[in-house]
Amino acid sequence: METQYIKVGKIVNTFGIRGEIKIYLYTDFPEQRFQKNQQLYVGKEEKPNEYRFTVEKAKPYKNVYLLKFKEFDNINQVEKYRDYYLWITKEEQGDLAEGEYYYHQIIGCQVVTTGGEEIGIVTGILRPGANDVWIVKAKTEKKEFLIPYIKDVIKVVDVKNKKIVIEVMEGLLS
C-alpha cells in the first residue's frame, strides 16, 4: 500500500540568520508535531517526502510558528525551502476522540443547512481563540462565510461523505 502523507504546515519565510523558518500551521497539534527530535517530511504537493529533517526547536510566534531543524544553522541553507510543505505520514497522525477532526478531514467538505440548502465548501480553518472558525467559500457567488465550530451551529459532521450540516443562526450568512 502506498504511504499517505498529511500536510501539517507550510514554510512561508525565513526568520533571522540562524536557519529558523516561519511555519503557517495546518495542524491543531503544533506542540506534538513540532516537538524536539520529531522528524518531518519536507516537500511540494507532488513529492511530499522529498526531504526528511529533525526538529531542534519550535515555538509560537504571532500568527505563525517558528521552527528550527537540526540540519541547518544559517539562513542561506533554509531559504530554498520557502513555499514547501511539512508532512507526516497518515500512521503518525494518531487517533482522535469522537467529535474531533483533523483539518484535512474538514477542508473540502460540503456545507449545507438543516433545511438542505447548499452553502459552499470549507476551504480553510482559522484559530482565533475559544473555538475554530471554518472558512466556507459560497457555492453560487464570490463570497466567503465564517462558520464558528460551536454546538449551536454545527449539527452534523460526516467526514466519510465530506458533508457538514449547520443550523443557520441570525446574521451567520449575511
Residues 6 or more apart whose CB falls under 8 angstroms from that of 47 comprise none
- What is the CATH topology of the domain spanning 103-166? SH3 type barrels. (2.30.30)
Least Cα distance to 9 among 32, 33, 31 occurs for: 33
CATH homologous superfamily of 5-92 = RimM (2.40.30.60)
Which residues of the chain are under the pLDDT cut of 70? 1
Domain ranges for the chain: 5-92, 103-166
- pLDDT at site 12: 96
- pLDDT at site 1: 65
DSSP element (H, E) containing 154: strand 154-158
Block residue for cell numbers 484535512: 104
- pLDDT at site 170: 87
